[in-house]
């Protein structure tokens, strides 16, 4: 059966309580538009480059304000509420970049810890070492919901197509990619990557994003998107500021895409052999 999905675009700051209030306002707006599944961005609860300052306000899952608010919103609105991710304090002193999906009764029905850490040096001088503070996840899941089979990813995960293919082969019809893409990488690759993951797997992709200039000085790309299995952008937001985008998701469109391009069925195992390159007078035998 079809359902209405929403992606909530935010510009999270350094105060989790203020971010929780902003999330609640936007999620209620999405539900008022008929959305029964609502997704927020990566790091909904706080974007804070000062790790000491971040640790001072982090909480474990039981006491986290975003987890509490997400649960309350799901129950109040009778929706599936997906906190794209928030920073959760772990017992060993490190942090999990963890997403939560709450059922309409407010209970957690899925957790997902971001698998691929954003450890990069960009041309504009930005340097990121997510692995220095965060513990990487190691488990992908496909969750059977009343309205669709759902797979999970977070931000940098989108650059690893094997994760999406594995979930699609396992039956995922909708892939979720909450993100806080940098402005530089977003301008280069955001839409292309999201549409590629949708097309190559014949699935819907829902990607709620952080957007604009944040209190900690970073700038994120925005452009939250909902994309269908043929790669068509059904809804998108702008480059900056808060937004709510909504689109109708019909899982039957996934089967239709797979029938047209049955690449999941046609995939084959193969080996890779590395050989010597060209030699003088021709190609190596």
Task: Tell me the catalytic residues.
Answer: 42, 114, 155
8 Å CB contact between 111 and 100: yes
8 Å CB contact between 188 and 157: no
Of 51, 66, 53, whose CA–CA distance to 17 is shortest?
66
Of 185, 184, 167, whose CA–CA distance to 176 is shortest?
167
Q: How far apart are the C-alpha atoms of 16 and 58, rounded to whole Å?
A: 9
Cα R_g (the chain), whole angstroms: 19
Q: How far apart are the C-alpha atoms of 90 and 84, rounded to whole Å?
A: 18
* Beta-carbon count within 10 A of 95 CB: 18
């Amino acid at each position: 059966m079809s359902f209405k999905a929403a992606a909530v675009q935010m510009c999270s700051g350094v105060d989790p309580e203020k971010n929780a209030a902003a999330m609640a306002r936007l999620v209620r707006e999405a539900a008022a538009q008929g959305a029964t599944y609502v997704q927020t961005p990566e790091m909904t609860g706080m974007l804070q480059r000062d790790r000491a300052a971040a640790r001072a306000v982090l909480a474990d899952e039981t006491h986290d304000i975003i987890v509490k608010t997400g649960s309350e919103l799901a129950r109040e609105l009778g929706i599936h509420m997906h906190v794209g991710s928030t920073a959760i304090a772990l017992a060993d002193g490190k942090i999990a970049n963890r997403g939560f999906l709450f059922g309409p009764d407010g209970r957690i029905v899925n957790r997902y810890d971001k698998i691929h850490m954003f450890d990069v040096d960009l041309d504009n001088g930005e340097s990121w070492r997510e692995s220095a503070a965060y513990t990487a996840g190691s488990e992908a899941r496909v969750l059977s919901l009343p309205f669709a089979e759902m797979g999970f990813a977070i931000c940098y995960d989108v650059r690893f197509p094997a994760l999406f293919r594995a979930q699609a082969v396992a039956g995922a019809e909708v892939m979720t990619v909450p993100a806080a893409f940098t402005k530089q990488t977003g301008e280069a690759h955001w839409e292309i990557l999201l549409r590629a993951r949708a097309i190559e797997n014949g699935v819907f992709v829902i990607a709620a994003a952080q957007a604009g200039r944040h209190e900690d000085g970073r700038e994120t790309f925005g452009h939250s998107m909902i994309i269908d299995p043929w790669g068509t952008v059904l809804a998108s937001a702008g480059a900056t500021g808060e937004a709510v985008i909504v689109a109708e998701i019909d899982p039957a469109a996934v089967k239709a895409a797979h029938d047209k391009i049955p690449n999941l069925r046609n995939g084959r195992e193969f080996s890779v052999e590395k050989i010597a390159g060209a030699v003088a007078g021709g190609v190596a035998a």
